């Protein structure tokens, strides 16, 4: 039976640890397993722009001996030019897996339902699982004992936050999330994560106080205030998030050896100041690099030879 990766919750804790262990091996040797995707083709269906996700998947697929085809928003135009169901059924006749970046979670769910091949979510409005798996790997490189770590996410409680929350809950990492009122994570995601965190002995704190959010944490994580597709809300969001900037005053509340993380793209002067993202605590480009290694492990897990 084929498996999809719509969010981190689709994987067991053991499977996540297995993927992270394979990621470490692939990072040590980029040309390990050069035939893992031999004679396989992957379709990259993108309804939104991308730098990291598209490029790291394309390069990773080629390093594993596979082929890929990038399909831009104007080519597939999910649900407009033809139904998502028909796109899924058609692409299943050509490809061995699909990576999809879509506007709405329902679109990636429909692709997964009607495709006979694995569908990997490359970001939707609700989740960004490849990012979260990469992020946990990146945290582990700095703090190998993950269960001693507290992660802090400051910003909008949407896709990146949801997947990070679930990934921390699965691995047993404590997480604190600070958002402005009205931008909290989805209630169902919080409830699901709390149930998983209880099984794994980790804590989840949701607050509206950025200072409480970063107090004594090891990791400070930030994302843009205006996600792709929300551009008309820019002015309102800049006002609503102004107290949630990661700057030198806020980071004083974290542990001295904290690390700063960001999924990128970043907006210096909005969610983070230049001195923090470009400073000595920042690991944002390690994260960007690690997308390559983690996604190769994910593809081997879901679609490898
Ligand atoms: N972090 C991330 O997914 O980046 P892109 O939007 O550039 O793919
Ligand atoms: N929350 C951001 C993440 C980009 C990787 C967005 O959806 O645009």
Q: 201: CA distance to ligand 1 center in Å? A: 31
In the residue annotation, 291 being an active-site residue is answered as: yes
Which ligand 1 atom lies nearest to the CA of residue 122? 3
Please, which contacts does 111-115 make with residues 24 or more away whose CB atoms are closer than 8 Å?
111/45, 111/78, 111/84, 111/87, 112/4, 112/6, 112/88, 113/85, 113/88, 114/84, 114/85, 114/88, 114/89, 115/88, 115/89, 115/91
In the residue annotation, 18 being an active-site residue is answered as: no
- Please report the pLDDT score of residue 165 as a whole number: 98
Q: What 3-state DSSP class applies to 5?
A: strand
For residue 269, the tally of other CB atoms under 10 A from its CB is 10
Q: Which of 163, 165, 223, 232 to mutate to test the pocket of ligand 2 (most atoms within 8 A of CB)?
A: 223
Q: Whose CA is nearest to atom 3 of ligand 1?
A: 53
Q: How far is CA 76 from the centre of its chain?
A: 23
Instruction: Give domain 131-287's CATH architecture.
Output: 3-Layer(aba) Sandwich (3.40)
For residues 121 and 128, is the Cβ–Cβ distance under 8 A? yes
- Please report the pLDDT score of residue 168 as a whole number: 98
Q: Whose CA is nearest to atom 1 of ligand 1?
A: 263
- CA-wise closest residue to 221 among 154, 285, 173, 273: 154
Q: Are 8-128+290-303 and 131-287 the same fold in CATH?
A: yes
- Please report the pLDDT score of residue 54 as a whole number: 98
Cβ 224 under 6 angstroms from ligand 2: yes
CATH assignment, 8-128+290-303: 3.40.50.1370
Residue 165 and residue 286: Cα distance in Å, rounded? 20
**Residue of 47, 63, 96, 101 marked catalytic:** 101
Tell me: cis bond preceding 132? Omega within 30 of 0 counts: no
For residue 87, the tally of other CB atoms under 10 A from its CB is 25
- Please report the pLDDT score of residue 23 as a whole number: 98
In the residue annotation, 263 being an active-site residue is answered as: yes
- Please report the pLDDT score of residue 22 as a whole number: 98
Q: 233: CA distance to ligand 2 center in Å? A: 14
Q: Whose CA is nearest to atom 6 of ligand 2?
A: 227
In the residue annotation, 125 being an active-site residue is answered as: no
Which ligand 2 atom lies nearest to the CA of residue 125? 7
pTM, two decimals, is: 0.98
Which ligand 1 atom lies nearest to the CA of residue 263? 1
To the nearest 10 degrees (0 to 180), the angle between helices 13-28 and 159-171 is: 100
Q: Which of 263, 267, 292 to mutate to test the pocket of ligand 1 (most atoms within 8 A of CB)?
A: 263
To the nearest 10 degrees (0 to 180), the angle between helices 159-171 and 129-142 is: 50
Q: Where are the domains of the chain?
A: 8-128+290-303, 131-287
For residues 155 and 222, is the Cβ–Cβ distance under 8 A? yes
Segment-wise mean pLDDT, segments of 10 residues, the chain, 305 residues: 97 98 98 98 98 98 98 93 97 98 98 98 98 98 96 98 98 98 98 98 98 98 98 98 98 98 98 98 98 98 97
Residue 51 and residue 57: Cα distance in Å, rounded? 10
Residue 147 and residue 216: Cα distance in Å, rounded? 15
**Residue of 54, 162, 291, 293 marked catalytic:** 291
For residue 118, the tally of other CB atoms under 10 A from its CB is 21
**Residue of 131, 245, 270, 287 marked catalytic:** 131
Q: Which helix (H) or strand (E) holds 259?
A: strand 259-262
Q: Residues lining ligand 1, judged by CB closer than 6 Å?
A: 50-53, 123, 131, 263-265
Phi/psi of residue 43, nearest 5 degrees: -95, 130
**Unique residue bearing structure tokens 């006979």:** 116
Alpha helices in the chain (DSSP H): 13-28, 52-63, 73-76, 84-92, 105-114, 129-142, 159-171, 187-200, 210-214, 234-240, 248-251, 274-277, 284-303
């Amino acid at each position: 039976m084929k498996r999809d990766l719509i969010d981190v919750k689709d994987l067991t804790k053991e499977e996540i640890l297995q993927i992270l262990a394979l990621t470490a091996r692939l990072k040590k040797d980029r040309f390990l397993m050069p035939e893992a995707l031999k004679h396989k083709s992957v379709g990259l269906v993108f309804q939104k722009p991308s730098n990291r996700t598209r490029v790291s998947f394309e390069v990773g697929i080629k390093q594993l001996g596979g082929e890929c085809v990038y399909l831009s928003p104007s080519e597939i135009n999910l649900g407009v030019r033809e139904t998502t169901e028909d796109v899924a059924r058609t692409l299943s006749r050509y490809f061995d897996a699909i990576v999809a970046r879509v506007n709405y979670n329902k679109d990636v769910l429909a692709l997964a339902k009607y495709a006979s091949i694995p569908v990997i979510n490359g970001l939707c409005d609700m989740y960004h699982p490849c990012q979260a798996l990469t992020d946990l790997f990146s945290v582990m490189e700095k703090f190998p004992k993950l269960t001693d770590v507290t992660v802090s996410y400051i910003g909008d409680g949407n896709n990146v936050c949801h997947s990070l929350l679930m990934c921390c809950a699965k691995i047993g990492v404590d997480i604190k999330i600070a958002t402005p009122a009205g931008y909290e994570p989805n209630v169902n995601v919080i409830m699901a994560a709390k149930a998983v965190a209880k099984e794994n002995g980790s804590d989840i704190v949701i607050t509206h106080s950025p200072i409480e959010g970063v107090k004594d944490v090891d990791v400070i994580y930030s994302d843009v205030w205006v996600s792709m597709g929300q551009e008309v809300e820019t002015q309102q969001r800049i006002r609503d998030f102004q107290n949630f900037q990661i700057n030198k005053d806020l980071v004083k509340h974290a542990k001295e050896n904290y690390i700063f993380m960001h999924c990128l793209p970043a907006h210096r002067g909005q969610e983070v100041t230049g001195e923090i993202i470009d400073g000595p605590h920042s690991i944002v480009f390690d994260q960007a690099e690690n997308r390559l290694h983690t996604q190769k492990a994910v593809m081997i897990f879901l679609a490898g030879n």
